Amino acid sequence: MVDFLTLDTDTLRNMQKQLTLKYEEFKQQNLKLNMSRGKPCPEQLDLSAGLLEGLNRNYLAADGTDCRNYGGLEGLPEARRLFAELLEVQPDEIIVHGNSSLALMHDLIARALLFGVDGQNAPWGQQPIKFLCPSPGYDRHFAICEFFNIEMITIPLREDGPDMDLVEKLVAEDETIKGIWCVPKHSNPTGITYSDQVVTRLATMKTKASDFRIFWDNAYAWHDLTSEPVPLKNILTACKEANHPDRVYIFSSTSKITYAGAGLAMVASSVQNINRLKKQMAIQTIGPNKLNQLAHVRFFQNAHNVRLHMKKHADIIRPKFNLVLNLLQTELGGKKIATWSRPQGGYFISFNTMPGCAKKVVQMAADAGVELTKAGATFPYGIDPKDQNIRIAPTYPSLVELKKAMELFIICVQLVSIEKILCSREQKPAELITPLGNKAQIV
Amino acid sequence: MVDFLTLDTDTLRNMQKQLTLKYEEFKQQNLKLNMSRGKPCPEQLDLSAGLLEGLNRNYLAADGTDCRNYGGLEGLPEARRLFAELLEVQPDEIIVHGNSSLALMHDLIARALLFGVDGQNAPWGQQPIKFLCPSPGYDRHFAICEFFNIEMITIPLREDGPDMDLVEKLVAEDETIKGIWCVPKHSNPTGITYSDQVVTRLATMKTKASDFRIFWDNAYAWHDLTSEPVPLKNILTACKEANHPDRVYIFSSTSKITYAGAGLAMVASSVQNINRLKKQMAIQTIGPNKLNQLAHVRFFQNAHNVRLHMKKHADIIRPKFNLVLNLLQTELGGKKIATWSRPQGGYFISFNTMPGCAKKVVQMAADAGVELTKAGATFPYGIDPKDQNIRIAPTYPSLVELKKAMELFIICVQLVSIEKILCSREQKPAELITPLGNKAQIV
């Protein structure tokens, strides 16, 4: 492959023409593919076939609780045991709830704004507060902060986790920094997993705010693509050892284990935090849908079976990741116009264009019928300062659709890159030129 | 039956002895009955047998949506249509959500405190606010207010609804009164249904606060014990006609239709309110459990079948209401020591002792193994100013258990009443005497 930057202008112009023809061909196919979200594909959902039907009209939990009736705020005992084991916490350190871990995070922050988190410090809403946002990150975390008027500070996300020098410096100085968002394993979207050292530093660091909290969204805890699970140091244990037992809230769900829309979500933390949360949640609800919890426990029976189940997921989506990675390597490798992640798990491939190209690439793909995650979505306020990160979500489409979508995507990346290179040679501001190279009308 | 108040002291003392013996007999039976909450009994839950299993591994909604996957924040279209028809609103005026209508109420108020309700007025949390609480009422409504530091003003609940003269006067004067809790049909616990006139007055009344809201918890909308449904005027229509289209939020659920812990909850309001709410909820969750919604729609198919289903519920619980009412009438009628409601639907019988007796009755019953709803629970802050209201929840126990529990209850009522009468004759303060008539140690 040839480094595009070394090609002369005529060669680039020729390539541009050919790629434009190909792009127009795609446009005429009237594609309609949505790759914007990390959704499991139907075959993955089929892995849990019979989950609900498996209740077999026996609705009694192990302790005799009729799961159809009211009660059980903290979740069924057997569901707490199962997910406690999987998350490496104790059963009394976990609440198993409804179908949305996002709701657990959102509600926790809403309560923190109104009441604080520890019964000692003031409600977070009494003064402007800030959250640290390792980025690229999960857009729905950032949306919660934006919604609640929590100022977001972007922290570079590296191969081993957030830039801890920066994190430590900021939290030591600023009492209004109350939290940090973390997707510690197979991070959304870059796929990295926090190193032991980063976990330790997060647990031990000195924070000016004594009510500082880590929002540990372990959404991909068991979602490895590799034969051996990628290890992640236990943050709750680390926090306890560092004498900050209440510092972390761990979230997870079965959204990408059983059913994305109809699974179970959970929050784990110190017993003190969990008991406080239970008291607050008792005002909100009489209890979660225990029938769905019972169905899940009956379906899996034990943690080992969950892990086996996750291998089946990996078998379905691994070829999709490989297809994307192979196409990227074959078509873009060595051209020096893009970089991308090679994740060992999770749901995304993080793709970086040349600076200033991501929005245009996403727009071009959309114009030809392939919807990607909005460019910028992986950064606070939806603004990618370098306009280069694109989140590729390969799990939902079929292999045939995915191949087509990626071929189009690769064409778009090349066209926008060539345009950028040519622009810079002509020393014209890139924004005056449309992606296809026609000069825009200057008003 | 003899009016207790006309009996001479010796007769009362003799009755007291006999009743005490009976009470002690009950105590020795080591009963363990919980009548504290309005829970459906197993036979009622059995009416929905096969609800989940009925999905039959076909998870596609009418529009092709795979209900297992993410999305559908406002609820499945067919679920919205079904419950819109049942609640007499339009499908775009309703959100069908998870298993807890309480959570919908709680979350709505949390958001109102942080953001206000209309995008124009200030967040409710910026100043102390108040809610009107028709009482006796639902303890979980009052718990939400207490949790969020919303001052509660008790409004007498009459046979046709809240004391509207008082309500109108208060809301016209006080801008910090932002809401009123209503259980408009088969109210919890008194069983009354609001008259058309009360509904109209609520919809049309002038409120000093332009962001005043009615929290219309129509929990027992279809829960009639009578052959013909008890009518309730449509509050949303009334509000629209009164040019206050955004004034009301209507809540309901299938908690007492299908499964108390695993049903569907819904909120209905003006399209403007619903759209605002949808935008806010989109930050909280990707969507509710649509599989459960699909299961419900498949199970019922249409509103008519829901109504037929509710007749089966009535057939199961009507004998329980009748048992309680007959026992009360036989054992307490004419004794002038208690009054009680004769509800046409809902889940409760509201029982009033002589003033100052409710707590003691509940305590005595508990000491003999029958747990009733905490005395005072039906009033704001758990304080019944006359200490006389007790909520009887007859649905959950079997007829045999219920008979036993009510026999005990009736003994307790008589013992505490006799004690009170004797005390007043002796002109001793009642609190120095234990329920069984032994003089308490005076320190």
What's the one-letter identity of residue A440?
A: A
Asked if the Cβ–Cβ distance from B106 to A68 is below 8 Å, we say: no
How many pairs of residues across A and B have Cβ atoms under 8 Å apart? Answer: 159
List, as own/partner pairs, every contact residues A358-361 make where C-beta atoms lie below 8 angstroms and the sequence separation is at least 24, other chains included.
Answer: A358/A384, A358/A387, A358/A388, A358/A389, A358/A390, A359/A387, A360/A412, A360/A416, A360/A419, A360/A435, A361/A390, A361/A409, A361/A412, A361/A413, A361/A416
Window 160-189 of A: residues touching B by CB (8 A cutoff) are: none
Give the one of B100, B261, B289 whose C-beta lies nearest to A261's C-beta: B289
Asked if the Cβ–Cβ distance from B68 to A288 is below 8 Å, we say: no
Rounded to 10 degrees, what is the CA torsion of A62, A63, A68, A71? -140
Instruction: Give residue A195's Cα distance to chain centre.
Output: 18
Q: What is the pLDDT of residues B251-309, one digit of tens each?
A: 999 999 999 999 999 999 999 999 999 999 999 999 999 999 999 999 999 999 999 99
Pairwise CA distance, residues A252 & A265, whole Å: 6
Pairwise CA distance, residues A403 & A29, whole Å: 14
Q: From the CA of B201, how many Å to the nearest CA of chain A?
A: 30
Least confident of A95-99, A430-434, B69-73, B364-368: A430-434
Q: What is the pLDDT of residues A102-160, one digit of tens each?
A: 999 999 999 999 999 999 999 999 999 999 999 999 999 999 999 999 999 999 999 99
Q: From the CA of B258, how many Å to the nearest CA of chain A?
A: 9
Pairwise CA distance, residues A298 & A304, whole Å: 13
> In this structure, what token pair is assigned to residue B149?
């530091």
Pairwise CA distance, residues B266 & B86, whole Å: 11
More confident site: A27 or B53? A27
Window 68-107 of A: residues touching B by CB (8 A cutoff) are: 68-72, 98-100, 102-103, 106-107
Backbone torsions φ then ψ of A10, nearest 5 degrees:
-65, -45
Least confident of A274-283, A379-388, B114-123, B419-428: B419-428
Strand ranges in B264-335 using DSSP code E only, listed in sequence order: 265-268
Pairwise CA distance, residues B257 & B222, whole Å: 9
Nearest Cα to Cα of residue A116 among A210, A195, A29, A41: A210
Pairwise CA distance, residues A127 & A123, whole Å: 8
> In this structure, what token pair is assigned to residue B46?
């059995």
Question: How many CB atoms lie under 10 A from the CB of residue A375?
Answer: 23
Is 0.90 topped by the overall pTM? yes
Quick one: closest CA in A to B292, which residue?
Answer: A262
% of chain B with per-residue pLDDT over 90: 93
B67 touches chain A (CB under 8 A): yes
Place of tokens 């994740």: A343
Pairwise CA distance, residues A441 & A437, whole Å: 12
Nearest Cα to Cα of residue B218 among B129, B94, B130, B32: B94
| Start-to-end C-alpha separation, chain B | 40
Quick one: closest CA in A to B108, which residue?
Answer: A284
Quick one: closest CA in B to A37, which residue?
Answer: B70
ipTM of the complex, rounded to two decimals: 0.94
Window 416-435 of A: residues touching B by CB (8 A cutoff) are: none
Residue B336 · residue B418 · CB < 8 Å: no
- Which pLDDT value is given to residue A427? 72
Pairwise CA distance, residues A335 & A1, whole Å: 6
Backbone torsions φ then ψ of A267, nearest 5 degrees:
-130, 135
Q: From the CA of A199, how many Å to the nearest CA of chain B?
A: 27
Give the one of B42, B280, B290 whose C-beta lies nearest to A66's C-beta: B42
Q: What is the pLDDT of residues A414-440, one digit of tens each?
A: 999 999 999 999 875 545 444 433 333
Pairwise CA distance, residues A1 & A333, whole Å: 7
DSSP 8-state secondary structure symbol assigned to residue B322? H
Pairwise CA distance, residues A183 & A137, whole Å: 8
The helix-helix angle for A303-332 and A77-87 (nearest 10°) equals: 50
Indicate whether B438 pLDDT > 60: no
Q: What is the pLDDT of residues B187-239, one digit of tens each?
A: 999 999 999 999 999 999 999 999 999 999 999 999 999 999 999 999 999 99
Nearest Cα to Cα of residue A416 among A378, A368, A347, A377: A368
Q: What is the pLDDT of residues A241-282, one digit of tens each?
A: 999 999 999 999 999 999 999 999 999 999 999 999 999 999
- Which pLDDT value is given to residue A428? 57
- Which pLDDT value is given to residue B441? 33
Which residues does A168 contact at the CB level (< 8 Å), separation at least 6? A201, A205, A206
In sequence order, the β-bridge partners of residue B349 are B392
Asked if the Cβ–Cβ distance from A262 to B68 is below 8 Å, we say: yes
Rounded to 10 degrees, what is the CA torsion of B325, B331, B332, B334? 110
Asked if the Cβ–Cβ distance from A287 to B113 is below 8 Å, we say: no
> In this structure, what token pair is assigned to residue B198?
């009360």
As to burial, measured by CB atoms within 10 angstroms (0-12 exposed, 13-18 middle, 19+ buried), residue A62 is: exposed
B32 touches chain A (CB under 8 A): no
Q: Name the 3-class secondary structure at A260.
A: coil
Chain A residues touching B71 at Cβ < 8 A: 261
As to burial, measured by CB atoms within 10 angstroms (0-12 exposed, 13-18 middle, 19+ buried), residue A442 is: exposed
Verify cis geometry, omega within 30 degrees of 0, for the bond prior to B136: yes
pLDDT bucket at B428, cuts 50 / 70 / 90? low
Pairwise CA distance, residues A20 & A9, whole Å: 16
> In this structure, what token pair is assigned to residue B10?
């010796």
Asked if the Cβ–Cβ distance from B102 to A295 is below 8 Å, we say: no
- Which pLDDT value is given to residue A436? 37
